[in-house]
Amino acid sequence: MADNISLAPREGGSQNGAVTSTTLDLVALQQRTMRVLVAGQILGGLGIGATLSIGSVLAAEVSGSEAWAGSAATMSTLGAAAVAIPLGRLTRRYGRRVSLALGTSIALLGAIVTVFAAAIDVFPLLLVGFAMLGSGAAVGLQSRFAATDVADPRHRGRDLSIVVWSATIGSVVGPNLFGPGEVIATWLRMPPLTGSFVVAIAAQLAAVCVYAFALRPDPYLVSQSIAAPAEAAVGVNNTVSEDADAQRNRSLVIITIGILGLSHATMIAVMSMTPVHLVHHGTSLAGVGLTLSLHIAGMFALSPVFGWLSDRYGRYRIILTGQALFAVSLVIVAFGEQSMTWVTVGLIFLGLGWSASTVSASALLGDLVTGSARPIIQARSDLVMNLAGALGGAAAGPALALLGYPGLAASAGVLVAIVVIAVTVVAVPTSRARTA
């Protein structure tokens, strides 16, 4: 079918229904691209998992105050936000291969800086390391869009979600590197709590090699080279520019980006303070690692299911499903704060809510925006997403100190309510009006 090479969400096909050699090449390219992105996500996830789990504890230890515990998540998300637009511009000019490899290289250097900062006990330098590590998260976010460059629009949510899912392996293993990390730190005579980052350094180096040498041909560059012929093949007038297309759908694009930002802020706010809360209640570091591993598994493990559901039943329904999962999570952690088991269950639902919301909203953004400016708009969504996460992480510390863990959950519930209102009152009616 010729619509396999269409980059916009339109139906159609060749008159004789034949599969052309161009289609076969694109199908093979998509399969190869998916394999490379999956490998890169697995390796990159190790660094992200280590940062999310041990970062807050390390920040509190080096700074000497638990008030700075949230700085790890805050600086990581700020770092991801800082590189989002530059990586998007690099993609537009040089393709996904260059931007993903460079972004991962920055994260690699960040892991090295983090270890060095802990060794010399300099907190500002540690914050710089966390910020550089955030580049790995930015790469992960842009990888999900890379999966849609030459994907069949009918399966855009599925392909995107598979890349999101692939981060499960590395991200779940990352928080459980406490034990091996201590052995590595002792063996290499490194500062305590930094051994996990040695594994992250090796994994990030491998990821750089995967992106730099295996992501060929570049899916984004190919998508731009075949966009006009593909549209001509299905008889579509391709005179409308990406900017004009984005303008027509401006309100929906803004709402979708807002959904991504608020959903990420909800997750970061609760997740980043959970290690501090659990340690206060006597939970061991191994127990904290297990809780965060299950949370991260919730974030990624079922993403293909949510991707398929969003393709099958619609983006907005799955976004609302994600918000419902958030609500369940916040109720559980608020009323079960004294129990590690209930907090763990709540964190699993928190991860599931993030997964459903992020996968479906990202696929929706791919539906709304196509063309040459696509990576820039996608990068803007990543920028908003990470800034919202940074604000959520920064506000979570004072909220925990002033309101306690239940109060933090209640505050996060306000963000959930905003998303639900935006979807039901504005986005769905606007979408129906535009398709009527």
Tell me the per-residue pLDDT of 422-435, one tens digit each, with 9 for 90 and over.
999 988 887 776 66
Q: Which range, of 53-62, 83-92, 230-239, 353-362, averages the lowest pLDDT?
A: 230-239
Which one-letter DSSP state was computed for residue 371? S
Confidence of residue 292 (pLDDT cuts 50, 70, 90): confident
**pLDDT score, position 192:** 67
CA distance 93 to 135: 19
| Phi, psi dihedral angles at 147 (to 5 degrees) | -70, -15
Instruction: Give the whole-number percent of the chain exceeding pLDDT 70.
Output: 82
**pLDDT score, position 238:** 38
CA distance 50 to 181: 10
| Phi, psi dihedral angles at 35 (to 5 degrees) | -65, -45
How many of the other CB atoms lie within 10 Å of CB of 189?
A: 7
Q: What is the pLDDT of residues 111-151, one digit of tens each?
A: 889 888 888 889 999 999 999 988 988 998 899 889 988 88
- What ranges in 174-314 are assigned the alpha helix state H? 178-187, 195-214, 219-233, 242-248, 250-280, 285-300, 303-313
**pLDDT score, position 297:** 81
**Residue-range domains of the chain with CATH:** 2-227+240-435 (1.20.1250.20)
Q: What is the pLDDT of residues 158-180, one digit of tens each?
A: 999 998 888 777 666 766 666 67
More reliable by pLDDT, 41 or 283: 41
Q: What is the pLDDT of residues 16-53, one digit of tens each?
A: 333 344 454 788 899 999 999 999 988 887 766 665 56
Residue with tokens 């996990």: 196
**pLDDT score, position 223:** 86
pLDDT higher than 70, residue 234: no
Task: Tell me the whole-structure pTM to 2 decimals.
Answer: 0.76
Please give the distance of CA 395 from its chain centroid, rounded to a whole number: 20
**pLDDT score, position 105:** 96
pLDDT higher than 60, residue 157: yes
